[in-house]
């Protein structure tokens, strides 16, 4: 019997024989069926792999377009910007022209890794006094007071100018067609829309509830106003947003709604090339974004897991999960204390990544869960970070030349500020909610400042500098948590990319609260509860745990192997 299980196409033969044994009362039937299942299906999706190029994104239409761009001679950046534009149409509640974007780029010729910060700033009028006069004692999560300048368009354009081979107009054309002609609404989109579309302003409801009712599966969703906006951008370039007609319309709309943005704030915007953070992890170089994003929490968590030696604990055991959860709390305490716009604050990045400091932080982990964790550096000031619901899209591409792009973009919460500018069809982000009104905090709102950002793109090379992998996910504050778990799945437990993505995981919130998937064994969950963790158990494949994506270069064959998360609409293609 065992030899029947060695090849997947023998699976059904195995089941037939097992069924015959069951009818005959064979004593080991259950073991045979279990063995057949485990040998055939370590995960529920097939892995897409190829020898030349690969793309993964948050929607099948975007993924297909990205692959087509590369098959027609474009490179990874061309594919990334094309996918990014399409995702603004087909995942409109998660990202858009009215949002922000970040990218990390690997150049195969030079081995250079560069990073592009496309986050927008507050306006010249943004101040504590402005909010006091508006009668606000904290920045609201919705409405015009939460809207910062959208930076995505500047990021798309700058990425193509530096690393791309096709024009800005060419990259936008597929998105224009989907916005104009429409696309079929998926069951996932219906579920995502059903609880939030009624919170939109009237312009938003006219687009996303065209008959006054939530969209139905298979219905065609069109946004002709967005199509025209994208066409204007294709014709006029980013100046249409930053000083031109589109920016003017948004500025006038925001002023009417009581926000602080004005046309000059759009004119002053630019995306910026920055040096990524670089950290060694298990013989790899992990590149992550510096502040103003939370991404520094990724190398902090990874290094602490090494110092805690979690790779030698059993996968998803009580010890393993307890340490990862407590390490997250330590990293996030420092994140909440320090992360802000580095143009305004001197952030102690080197101190936060210092090996002695992180070892000392790990030594603070006790046998039971800690409810309150203080920052470890200058802990005289703390801040509760506004957390959106993780409505973000991730995408990644590796081309035939070996160049790679890791890209993330978002409008923060579902449908961002809940405001849609009626003439442009743009959903406006609520990234301004990432600021605080707490006086003297590094992340205090000030004029022309970038807020704390949850967006966290990353890329991995070996120590020689050759490309090794990209991992990424939407999920707000869960992003670095999910990446830590998947990177250990890949490198500590040697899972395939798809298996690493699908393995059950947790998400730690404030205090003792932890969300956890039910596929983590009941006895493990009981042991964690005995350690004071307050667990909420989720059945099935829920977006609470993000939407992980992976492209990984096989160390032996050089093939590009992918992972695409069934928890959302992630889709992978390779050739």
Burial 139-166 (b: 16+ CB within 10 A, else e): bbbbbbbbbbbbbbbbbbbbbbeebbeb
538 and 559 Cβ atoms separated by less than 8 Å: no
Which of 392, 436, 461, 473 is labelled catalytic? 392
Radius of gyration of the chain (CA): 24
Instruction: Cite the beta strand spans of 65-207 per DSSP E.
Output: 100-106, 113-118, 183-184
329 and 481 Cβ atoms separated by less than 8 Å: no
> Is 392 tagged catalytic?
yes
Extract the tokens encoding 353: 């990544």
Round to whole Å and give the CA distance between 276 and 461: 13
Nearest to 451 by CA among 126, 23, 7, 9: 126
386 and 430 Cβ atoms separated by less than 8 Å: no
DSSP 3-state percent helix, strand, coil across the chain (nearest 5): 40, 15, 45
Extract the tokens encoding 349: 């990045």
401 and 74 Cβ atoms separated by less than 8 Å: no
Nearest to 487 by CA among 545, 548, 540: 548
Round to whole Å and give the CA distance between 77 and 74: 8
Neighbours of 324 (CB within 10 A): 23
Going across the sheet that includes 277-281, the strands are 49-50, 560-564, 549-553, 467-472, 458-462, 284-288, 277-281
Extract the tokens encoding 415: 């449908």
Round to whole Å and give the CA distance between 419 and 425: 10
- The catalytic residues are 392
């Amino acid at each position: 019997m065992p030899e029947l299980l060695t090849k997947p196409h023998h699976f059904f033969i195995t089941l037939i024989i097992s069924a015959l044994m069951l009818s005959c009362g064979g004593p080991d039937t259950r073991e045979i069926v279990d063995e057949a299942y485990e040998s055939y299906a370590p995960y529920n999706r097939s892995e897409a792999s190829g020898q030349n190029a690969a793309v993964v994104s948050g929607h099948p239409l975007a993924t297909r377009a990205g692959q087509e761009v590369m098959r027609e001679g474009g490179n990874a950046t061309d594919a990334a910007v094309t996918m990014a534009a399409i995702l603004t149409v087909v995942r409109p509640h998660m990202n858009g022209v009215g949002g922000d974007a970040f990218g990390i780029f690997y150049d195969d010729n030079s081995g250079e890794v560069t990073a592009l910060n496309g986050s927008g700033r507050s306006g010249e009028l943004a101040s504590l006094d402005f909010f006091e006069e508006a009668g606000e004692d904290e920045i609201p999560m919705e409405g015009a007071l939460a809207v910062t300048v959208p930076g995505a368009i500047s990021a798309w354009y700058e990425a193509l100018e530096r690393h791309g081979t096709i024009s800005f107009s060419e990259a936008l054309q597929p998105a224009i067609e989907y916005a104009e002609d429409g696309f079929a609404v998926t069951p996932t989109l219906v579920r995502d829309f059903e609880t939030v579309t009624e919170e939109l302003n009237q312009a938003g409801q006219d687009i996303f509830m065209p008959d006054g009712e939530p969209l139905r599966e298979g219905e065609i969703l069109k946004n002709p106003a967005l199509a025209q906006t994208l066409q204007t951008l294709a014709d006029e370039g980013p100046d249409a947003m930053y000083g031109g007609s589109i920016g003017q319309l948004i500025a006038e709309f925001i002023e009417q709604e009581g926000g602080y943005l004005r046309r000059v704030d759009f004119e002053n915007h630019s995306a910026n090339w920055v040096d990524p953070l670089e950290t060694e992890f298990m013989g790899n170089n992990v590149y992550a974004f510096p502040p103003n994003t939370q991404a520094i929490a990724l190398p902090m968590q990874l290094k602490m897991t090494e110092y805690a030696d979690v790779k030698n604990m059993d996968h998803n055991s009580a010890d393993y999960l307890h340490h990862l959860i407590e390490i997250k709390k330590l990293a996030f305490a420092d994140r909440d204390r320090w992360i802000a716009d580095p143009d305004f604050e001197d952030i102690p990045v080197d101190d936060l990544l210092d090996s002695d400091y992180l070892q000392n932080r790990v030594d603070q982990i006790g046998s039971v869960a800690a409810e309150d964790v203080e920052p470890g550096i200058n802990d005289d000031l703390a801040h509760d970070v506004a957390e959106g619901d993780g409505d973000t899209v991730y995408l990644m591409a590796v081309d035939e030349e070996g160049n790679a792009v890791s890209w993330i973009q978002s409008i923060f919460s579902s449908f961002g500020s809940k405001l849609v500018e009626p003439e442009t069809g743009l959903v406006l982000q609520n990234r301004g909610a990432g600021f605080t009104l707490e006086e003297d905090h590094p992340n205090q709102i000030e004029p022309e400042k970038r807020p704390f950002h949850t967006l966290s793109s990353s890329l991995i090379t070996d120590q020689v500098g050759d490309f090794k992998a990209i991992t990424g996910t939407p999920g707000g504050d869960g992003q670095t948590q999910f990446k830590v778990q998947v990177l250990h799945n890949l490198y500590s437990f040697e899972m395939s990319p798809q298996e690493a993505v699908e393995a059950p995981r947790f998400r730690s919130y404030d205090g003792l609260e932890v969300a956890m998937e039910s596929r983590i064994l009941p006895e493990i969950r009981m042991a964690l509860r005995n350690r004071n963790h307050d667990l909420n158990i989720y059945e099935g494949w829920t977006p609470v745990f993000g939407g992980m994506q992976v492209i990984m270069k096989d160390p032996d064959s050089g093939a590009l192997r992918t992972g695409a998360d069934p928890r959302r609409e992630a889709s992978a293609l390779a050739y």
